[in-house]
Chain A
Amino acid sequence: MFEILEKKVWSDEVPKIKEFVVKAPAIAKAHHAGQFIILIVDENGERIPLTIADKDANKGTISILFQEVGKSTMCLGMLNKGDHIHHMAGPLGKPTHVEKFGTVVCVGGGIGIAPVHPIAKAMKDAGNKVISILGARSKDLLIYEDKMKKASHEIRITTDDGSYGRHGFVTDELKHMIEVEKIPIDLVVVIGPPIMMKFVCKVTEPYKLRTFASLNTIMVDGTGMCGACRVTVGGKTKFVCVDGPEFDGHQVDFEEMMMRQRQYLPEEKLARETCEKQTCHKS
């Protein structure tokens, strides 16, 4: 059982965005940037992967941030400070490859900003110049601005509706940096919705600009056992849980990945509706 020490509601607009600080000393101690956990809300729950957004190894805590898009995340969101998450396994996946690259641009879209945070931090600690691009639909939905400011030398913000920062997408800002400002960039790290990652990779590809994309696919065990998370990278099948979650973004078959992500949409809808009708077995 893993105790929730703090709860923060980032956005009350549906789908809601929430963050927990959870007591998990062993995971906090072993965690490296880029790794994730699998949690189960209660005994009937499913195993859901969530990237670790922050940690405090001294206090023995990790932060997880999620959007309530399905039944499991809705049930998770109903928990409060002092409640417990039944199971949590991690840290899983390979850590981000961190070294001194030079200038690293960390791109986070939506709640993808949270998992990019520890990577920006680690890249900065390794002596890189870190410029972060944070994208959100609107100002109200922007998360982790302060944390990303600390973890980067410079941050840039884009919103789809123009309510904050550049009016446009993260790709617009990135293109501007490359083509107009002509900032020499050594590495781009991108985390966000698959479609956004795909387009960021399309922007960097013509410049042969090395790009890491961290993938969040459907998983069951998260330890290499089931292969539900498989993606094609460079023409070969890889498992996101043990070979990733980070891959060379230019090699990832995003179309196939998005197709596979849609597999359980009808079931997810059914689960959500059943849950809403019955006020959820977790409440």
Chain B
Amino acid sequence: MSEEKETKAGEKPKKPKIPRQSMPEQDPHKRAGNFDSVTLGYKMEQAALEASRCIQCKKPFCISGCPVSIDIPGFIKLVKEKEYLKAAQHIKKYNLLPAVCGRVCPQEDQCEKVCIVGKKGEPVAIGRLERFVADYEAAHGEVPLPELPPKTGKKVAVVGAGPGGLTVAFDLIMLGHDVTIFEALHKAGGVLVYGIPEFRLPKAIVEREVQYLTRLGVDLKLNHVIGKIRTIDQLMKEDGFDAVFIGSGAGLPWFMDVPGENLNGVYSANEYLTRNNLMKSFDFPKHDTPIKKHKNVAVIGGGNVAMDSVRTALRLGADNAYIVYRRSRAEMPARKEEVDHAEHEGVQFKNLTAPVRVIGNEQGWVTGLECLKMDLGEPDASGRRRPVPVKGSEFIMEMDAVIIAIGTSANPLIAQTTPDLKLNKKGYIEVENETTCRTSKKGVFAGGDIVTGSATVILAMGAGRNAAKSIQQYLQTGEWTPNGKQ
């Protein structure tokens, strides 16, 4: 792990080279038993020290590495100058959710990957600095609101209060449009509230960032399942919206289609995480939604959602929490940091292992998981080596719960009631391209997981940013040419 090379907080930096500052963490054994934050954030001095590692490139690559093009050197300069509040306000010009992105963005694949400092050593810890300034701002009184331009009189509906929708809403309210967000659940945030656990992203932070949006004047309508309570056509024709952005996400969980999958004790990761994160069932019976406390839990999959699920199972008191993944650790789509955290907390990895059957007892409860050993063969379409079953390698693991985290597909509710909205073969909404985000329906835009399939928070935000630009252009010109250029 790269962080082993880093210095501890407070240690005197050796000139000329200041090492990348490590972030304090809760002890792995302790944290595996609670839902508090795993990482604890920089102290002020550490942040300033880390910021001083930035060499303020004339042509910064980090900005182009960021899906929402934050002026990274700009805010880091302010941190170096200890102008933390100004730094936060500077980021907010580009990104509504810095406290979120600072925590959950895969910076190692984006801004930090292309950081020049990183070419000959460790890159500047951009994500940690972003998190620091956002937290600093929140801890120092109410965040001042930017000045809003005069109202344009245009109305935009945003479907889904996830990261994509929130970004669109922010960008458009800042341009003077009236924005209404329709959210299906009883809390705003989408995957930020139902999917990502408290220990990785405290819900109070999401709430704070959503509140900022409502303080700016965005109308947030919770409990509104578009496609059911209102259709897209009704929004446009009856409710007077000039444009609609669909950011309803890839909500439908996949199951494996193996025998025994409907036994009691088998869950989709979405169910397991939603119970725990959105409904706070870890605090049952104080909160009414129950969750089972299983002893031996297998989580199928190797992505971030699988890591979130398995770490949640540990925190709920599992004796053995396993990741069952058909490829090897090198192919795991999860962030390295998340896999490492899981391992430190005591998660057991059963890699090169594929489930073939869930075994249950007469009462219908899971008792075991039958698996098959895998070998890695030739690379497949994804470029990763294809897992090949080893004949006769079946074995059974004793288990009382199986959580399936192998991905999700498009939520069909909007498509079902919007017949002229073109979908691709997989059921995702087809857009002209990722810059215009225009769907087949005039005035209707889409972005995030409902277009791309499951991806990341920041990519949905990037799509939201592009969609907002495209919506602005459409609202100003009224033009809707099939290959309209930006």
Interface residues of A (CB under 8 A from B): 26-27, 30, 35, 40-41, 44-47, 71-72, 86-92, 220-221, 223-228, 230-232, 237, 239, 242, 256, 259-260, 262-264, 267-268, 270-271, 274-275
Contact = CB atoms under 8 A, between A and B. Distances in A.
B413 A224 contact: yes
B115 interface: no
A276 B444 CA distance: 51
Contact of B274 (A41, A90, A225, A267): A225
B223 A87 contact: yes
B217 interface: no
Contacts of A237: 255, 261-262
Interface residues of B, number: 39
Contact of B412 (A89, A90, A227, A242): A242
Q: Is the interface of A mostly helix, strand, loop or mixed?
A: mixed
**Secondary structure at chain B's binding surface: helix, strand, loop or mixed?**
loop
Contact of A220 (B252, B255, B279, B285): B279
Given A46-B288, A90-B228, A221 B264 contact: no
B33 to A, nearest CB: 21
A227 to B, nearest CB: 4
Contact of B225 (A45, A223, A259, A262): A223
Contacts of B251: 223-225
B289 A47 contact: yes
Most A Cβ at <10 Å: residue of B225, B252, B287, B411: B225
Contacts of B284: 267, 271
A69 B381 CA distance: 52
23 contacts: A26-B230, A27-B229, A40-B186, A44-B288, A46-B287, A47-B186, A72-B288, A88-B223, A89-B185, A89-B186, A89-B224, A220-B279, A221-B274, A224-B252, A225-B251, A225-B253, A226-B253, A230-B262, A242-B412, A264-B292, A268-B290, A271-B290, A275-B285
B411 A223 contact: yes
Contact of B288 (A30, A35, A71, A88): A71
A30 B229 contact: yes
Given A87-B222, A237-B262, A259-B364, A224 B412 contact: yes
A270 to B, nearest CB: 6
B95 interface: no
B270 A225 contact: yes
A257 to B, nearest CB: 9
B184 A89 contact: yes
B194 interface: yes
Interface string B120-131: 000000000000
